[in-house]
Structure 1
């Protein structure tokens, strides 16, 4: 809680409870009544579900009741797995939603508190400042140079000046953006009763475009499904011509269709992205859109602010320059009247309830030098918000006796430009700015003026100020920032500083942080004066951009994107909104970020720790790599299932129906957890953060990678067919032959899972990777296989025969041999430079 500087008490606890009971809270989202029905509907329309139902109906029609009941059980099990995976994803997304919920500043029990927007009630007194979104409908009680943008509700893009005690223009509405100033309002409508709720619009309902990876995966699955339809029709036709039994031939056709359909791929994609976002949230990085996880692994350039990102954001007023005496005063030596006037004026130019670290430091310095605190005696009567190039801001205060204070602060060159300062004085001031900046100080100029009457100029630049001096703040680099920069450089990621501070201060801090920069800093004005070709060259090569404003920031982001870079951009202010929105990865600060910055971003750093971006990039790379492993595994293991089902029938071998739907279902049930649970839990591979970023436009599986998976699948097929031909040559009956082939395929699946944990490192290296789920899934697979072969009731149902130890050894050895050759391929790859 914070001390309440406003003349409003707010609701008491009892009044809050009463309002909540009568009118409800401010939540907009729908109830959960249809969640289960929606999940059931989605599960019932899955292709695999429909194939299982078709097989079940055919089994019952053929009078094969045990197989029919097994298929019913399989339907329930597959649906349960689908519900579980869907639940994991949705829980992760719900947790993200809770973390990304906006906060509102309210006055309750005469204290300033921050609460989630959804907890607001009618009667609450809310404080909203520049850059924030109005969290509920309300009636204005106090305004300071206040204007809002209501484009979300009206479609009009211009700012609206609001007025107190106006029936027509004295209200604010949820979803509006505070364009300038500050207001205090009393909530009059919440949730679905608000104007936004009645219209039924919400930012959360806007549908995001599909990413290139999503599109590639969908296209791949569609192609596989089309192949499945063709193969299904061929197998059905061949079977019908041979048997003239439409139901039995249909059943065999459906078996092959089930083996072709790669339904695990979209499930794996959804699980990987949702759980990846959830894991990042646990590390203090909130991903608002799960597809951002995909872009993280491709990031090639990160553009970062200086204050609070590279530095501690713990501003302390260290030195001041007093123009009247032409002296520099250190912290604690501000005894002269001129020095105290400078600090006091700088304080008045700050917000009355400061949230900016520099303004907090000025209020603290004022408290330390004044014997009588005059802040309660003066009323805030007019405000000119931060504006101009370079920027400045001006505040006007007045007490009951009519004494007026007009104070401004901002970039020194802006204050000097609108002050009566001689050329000789300018030279002295600019030299002092350079001296402060060279020590890494953040420097502001301070001025004051007089004005009678209430017909204030439209722009603060129309005043003529008296320049008082400079205030220098020191904000040291974060202790870990040098290490963070090194990690980005090692990962092949460029880092660029984009700041509103001056060049000397930024260069000094960058040097202290061991930031790499080949060219001197360039300012926003200098950048925009260049030709388009020169701009592109400078943006590509320079690393420090200073005195930046929204248009220049946006120009940098768009130019980098035109150069095919994948761009991340950090920001915290309303002016950062366009650049954050334009970047591939907009990164807002969780603590000091404005609401509009958080809305425009796709990712939020909870603790404002830029070092978390290293974790985020690593997570993006890990998820992409593991998803690729999972899909390559799916392709490799589907090929032998398809060919083992199809080839004996097409070639007219002695046992044409080596596998039936029940066998394929068992294989599907062990493949699903392997790809979406085991591989999702795989750790980041060694040296993954030493590799350059991948291009976002790269094909997910290029021809070489796809070929590797196909070749792996073909080798496993050779293994299963070898077991088939070996069994026939040994005179084994159909059930024993089926068992040999089945055990070979399941063991090949186990070894493939182990081998494909890395496409670079050896299996001996990956054995040291920690993944408890891998051990569990493989253990369960082997136990289930043993039960199917050696437990009579299961063996009879699956038409399998218990194997002797030598037979088990042969099947396992063939399965091992059909996969382990890939270790030789990886060894050859590792020998290449």
Structure 2
């Protein structure tokens, strides 16, 4: 059994030897016996698996709906009363709806399993002073793990020794670039993303070697902490789910009340038998309940899913489609989503010249230029000696390379920062390969976290030797004594260079200083040689915004959606990038430590005013989601790392990046963007709004039919007449005709103004005043005309004929009303619009054939109790349908007139 964890010391704050002593270990590792004892005490280095949800449980969840309960009761009572066919149809409807929902949810949440899979399966350790490769699950606190380039870190490690170690921690911290690591202790309050003495489970070693002390395994690791956090986060109901639940409760209460009153009225007033009136009550309930509505909602959502998939957005949970349309705030990652995730040299600062660099990414497209009063002046290799000197360092003090192929275009191999410098040299038309042959490398000092620089030694076959250096500006400046200007070398103005570096950093650049030194001896290169340097200039590197990202942010703003950027970068970089994208004012970005000092009220106030957040941990992201939700916002959260998974699950809709995203992030999300592009998310929001519009159109199309049918039953009971429409005929109308026609509305394209409206209030119901009025108005037409036809035909042709005519009249009116319903508001239905949805025309054709079969086929006549109609009655039904269409269009015209001639936004 796993021993309960005690509060760990801040391992990054302890010197390496103190950490070894605290865990009673040494650089030669544990003995086999001690490791076995600790394994029994601490348990395996693995994360526990939760019990999976069974298919049966998932199926039963689909039945947890008031409308379904009413249908189940109606079906059971109908069966007890001997009406097997009616009961079977009712129960069949319930099973079909539940099966559709169960199949759509077939991919259960596997976020915890995905995180567990990130733990490395094998690890190299020291046991009894010897190297052994063991299963990573057998690691225990106190083990010494050996790391090499390409290894996945198997547990949380306090680094004891490290040489040129660089670790990709993007999945855990959100840091976009590999992090330099070393063994020196740091202050106890150092944020997770800046703990250079630690290597965390699930991260990847990019370069170098290290020896690390295991300080946490399994659930005690940072991954385990996120795993525990994720397990405690409940899924929140989507806005659509909440709206449908409220709507269902209201509708069910109304149906049961009217059904009970109808039964009481018929029994007490007309003296009908209770069995007859109970069947009438069941008929009324079946008539009023929109049995096809759950299936229609599911199908509309599924069509939205398919549309989004064509635009590189994969929806994993159906209600998430509509949730996007309700979003009021999008919290997005920066790297790769808003930016290209390709480091690019954007500026070069020489001693006497400020050079701009055009082009983005690793493709050597673009060039260099400098500005003067009459415009820009292009620059290239061979035109400015001081620029040539800087570009020589950029390409030779470098281990990266570029490659091009037709399938993938330009790709970088090696460190992203170094790849950006090689691209810079190519943009200046530098003969990189020729230069490398002329000045071959003799020796090198790899980039070191403590020294914060890289140096290479070169010779030119003629006895000339150069040390080329790149590194952090303050480090290189401290080792330099001169600078190279247009007129040659001169004494270094360190203060001026520090000010230039600071200004570039405030503009969002990561700044590197490049320098050189000529040497005469043939000795091996050491750090002592990296002194007396001549500074050549500064290079500003940036992960540039995607070309389409700023437009997408502006589109969201026009739609009333605030975009907030949450990143692992430094605050200054985050604020500057945000300004380029139209997020924030470029001056204010809240960092993780600042968020830590805020109480709940202060955080709620901050998220109203601030749009850029930097150095954010998983807890910070969760806190931001909670604060936004407390402010009444509907939140979409994007992410790609393990650290993003809790916030992705907690948000109203989590959106994972499919290209660079971890499986943990994808499984915690309701949607995956396959091209990692914020513009794709903005397009998905538009589709989400269109889906909600189409659901509302479908609901408003179906419900008047239910109102009309229920009113016909009530009218017949009040008049003491036999029921005009049988329960089976009602189910035909509800499940076949209404569903067939409503399906066409699922294919309606987004309206032109879909991204010019404010988001819907989270507590808004499905129906507004227009919804209620249209429901009453069309419902009245649905009852008046078919019931009038029934009464007229009852005396001259009998009950079966009159009922058949009433059903066909109602279906004809449905067909006409479909074309009114394609525009939700008072907008007119133009001829072009009427013909614009082929699905609507196809649905009408299919339904016409179905109604002919319903009326004339002997098998259908026997099942539904129908008879053949004469041509005059078909014509009367068609005329009624045309009249309904014209009446509703006339009602729209009146609504437009009352609104001042301007149709309100909406579909």
Contact 1:85 1:271 in 2 (8 A): no
Determine which of 400, 417, 438 is the counterpart of 1:358: 417
Aligned positions, number: 701
Q: Secondary structure at the match of 2:326?
A: coil
Deviation readout 1:742-767 (Å, 9 max, x if unpaired): 22112222222232121233333532
Match of 1:451 in 2: none
Match of 1:20 in 2: none
Contact 2:648 2:654 in 1 (8 A): yes
Distance in 2, Cα, partners of 1:636 & 1:146: 73
Contact 2:332 2:563 in 1 (8 A): yes
Determine which of 489, 497, 500 is the counterpart of 1:431: 500
Is residue 139 of structure 2 the alignment partner of residue 74 of structure 1? no
In the superposition, relative to structure 1, how do residues 561 and 80 fare at CA in structure 2: closer, same or farther (>3 Å)? closer
Contact 1:346 1:409 in 2 (8 A): no
Determine which of 282, 290, 298 is the counterpart of 1:262: 290
Higher radius of gyration, 1 or 2: 2
Is residue 873 of structure 2 the alignment partner of residue 807 of structure 1? yes
Match of 1:698 in 2: 764
Alignment gaps of 5+ in structure 1: 1-25, 61-67, 109-119, 135-142, 148-158, 181-195, 385-392, 398-404, 449-463
Match of 1:226 in 2: 253
Deviation of the 1:668 alpha carbon: 2.2
Deviation of the 1:807 alpha carbon: 1.2
Deviation readout 1:137-174 (Å, 9 max, x if unpaired): xxxxxx98799xxxxxxxxxxx9988999998585579
Match of 2:712 in 1: 644
Distance in 2, Cα, partners of 1:676 & 1:414: 69
Determine which of 169, 176, 182 is the counterpart of 1:130: 169
1:297-696 aligned within 5 A:
297-302=325-330, 307-317=335-345, 357-358=416-417, 360-361=419-420, 371-372=440-441, 425-431=494-500, 434=503, 442-445=509-512, 470-473=538-541, 477-481=545-549, 483-485=551-553, 487-495=555-563, 500=569, 521-524=587-590, 545=612, 566-568=634-636, 570-571=638-639, 584-593=652-661, 603-652=671-720, 655-670=721-736, 673-674=739-740, 677-696=743-762
In the superposition, relative to structure 1, how do residues 576 and 215 fare at CA in structure 2: closer, same or farther (>3 Å)? closer
Deviation of the 1:71 alpha carbon: 3.1
In the superposition, relative to structure 1, how do residues 573 and 373 fare at CA in structure 2: closer, same or farther (>3 Å)? farther
Is residue 177 of structure 2 the alignment partner of residue 177 of structure 1? no
Match of 1:85 in 2: 100
Q: Secondary structure at the match of 1:478?
A: coil
Match of 2:834 in 1: 767
Contact 1:146 1:178 in 2 (8 A): no
Contact 2:236 2:652 in 1 (8 A): no
Alignment gaps of 5+ in structure 2: 1-46, 123-134, 139-149, 154-167, 174-180, 186-196, 202-209, 357-367, 369-379, 401-411, 426-431, 456-466, 483-490, 516-530, 903-907
Deviation of the 1:299 alpha carbon: 3.2
Contact 1:288 1:603 in 2 (8 A): yes
Q: Secondary structure at the match of 2:783?
A: helix
1:187-226 aligned within 5 A:
207-226=234-253
In the superposition, relative to structure 1, how do residues 445 and 587 fare at CA in structure 2: closer, same or farther (>3 Å)? farther
In the superposition, relative to structure 1, how do residues 103 and 799 fare at CA in structure 2: closer, same or farther (>3 Å)? same
Distance in 2, Cα, partners of 1:751 & 1:585: 37
Distance in 1, Cα, partners of 2:730 & 2:801: 17
Task: Using the TM superposition, name which of 702-711 and 478-487 deviates more.
Answer: 478-487
Determine which of 32, 35, 38 is the counterpart of 2:55: 35
Distance in 2, Cα, partners of 1:566 & 1:554: 14
Distance in 2, Cα, partners of 1:101 & 1:707: 51
Distance in 2, Cα, partners of 1:414 & 1:707: 73
Task: Using the TM superposition, name which of 36-45 and 696-705 deviates more.
Answer: 36-45
Q: Secondary structure at the match of 1:611?
A: helix
In the superposition, relative to structure 1, how do residues 169 and 465 fare at CA in structure 2: closer, same or farther (>3 Å)? farther
Deviation of the 1:43 alpha carbon: 6.6
Task: Using the TM superposition, name which of 485-494 and 593-602 deviates more.
Answer: 593-602
Q: TM-score, normalised by structure 1?
A: 0.66
Deviation of the 1:522 alpha carbon: 3.1
Match of 2:14 in 1: none
Contact 2:120 2:136 in 1 (8 A): no
In the superposition, relative to structure 1, how do residues 548 and 39 fare at CA in structure 2: closer, same or farther (>3 Å)? closer
In the superposition, relative to structure 1, how do residues 807 and 696 fare at CA in structure 2: closer, same or farther (>3 Å)? same
Q: Secondary structure at the match of 1:522?
A: coil
Task: Using the TM superposition, name which of 627-636 and 677-686 deviates more.
Answer: 677-686
Deviation readout 1:186-219 (Å, 9 max, x if unpaired): xxxxxxxxxx9xxxx9958965122343233213
Distance in 2, Cα, partners of 1:632 & 1:758: 11
Q: TM-score, normalised by structure 2?
A: 0.62
Q: Secondary structure at the match of 1:689?
A: coil
Deviation readout 1:410-461 (Å, 9 max, x if unpaired): 7x689999999999623333235546987xx83324699xxxxxxxxxxxxx
Task: Using the TM superposition, name which of 532-541 and 589-598 deviates more.
Answer: 532-541
Distance in 2, Cα, partners of 1:57 & 1:536: 57
Deviation readout 1:250-276 (Å, 9 max, x if unpaired): 322221221233344444444444553
Calculate the aligned-residue CA RMSD, in Å: 5.9
Deviation of the 1:126 alpha carbon: 6.3
1:25-174 aligned within 5 A:
35=55, 39=59, 47-59=70-82, 68=84, 70-71=85-86, 74=89, 78=93, 81-82=96-97, 85-86=100-101, 89-90=104-105, 127-128=152-153, 129-132=168-171, 172=218
Distance in 1, Cα, partners of 2:818 & 2:793: 26
Determine which of 313, 330, 333 is the counterpart of 1:285: 313
Distance in 1, Cα, partners of 2:183 & 2:837: 58
Distance in 2, Cα, partners of 1:144 & 1:103: 27
Match of 1:716 in 2: 782
Distance in 2, Cα, partners of 1:723 & 1:580: 56
Deviation readout 1:230-269 (Å, 9 max, x if unpaired): 3333343445555664443332222122123334444444
Task: Using the TM superposition, name which of 300-309 and 619-628 deviates more.
Answer: 300-309
Contact 2:713 2:725 in 1 (8 A): yes
Distance in 2, Cα, partners of 1:820 & 1:633: 16
Match of 2:30 in 1: none
Distance in 2, Cα, partners of 1:37 & 1:525: 43
Distance in 2, Cα, partners of 1:90 & 1:658: 40
Q: Secondary structure at the match of 1:712?
A: helix
Q: Secondary structure at the match of 1:617?
A: helix
Deviation of the 1:815 alpha carbon: 3.8
Deviation of the 1:48 alpha carbon: 2.4
Deviation readout 1:15-45 (Å, 9 max, x if unpaired): xxxxxxxxxxx9979899x637964896797
Deviation of the 1:618 alpha carbon: 0.9
Q: Secondary structure at the match of 1:444?
A: strand
Distance in 2, Cα, partners of 1:553 & 1:133: 13
Q: Secondary structure at the match of 1:314?
A: coil
Deviation of the 1:641 alpha carbon: 0.8
Distance in 2, Cα, partners of 1:97 & 1:666: 43
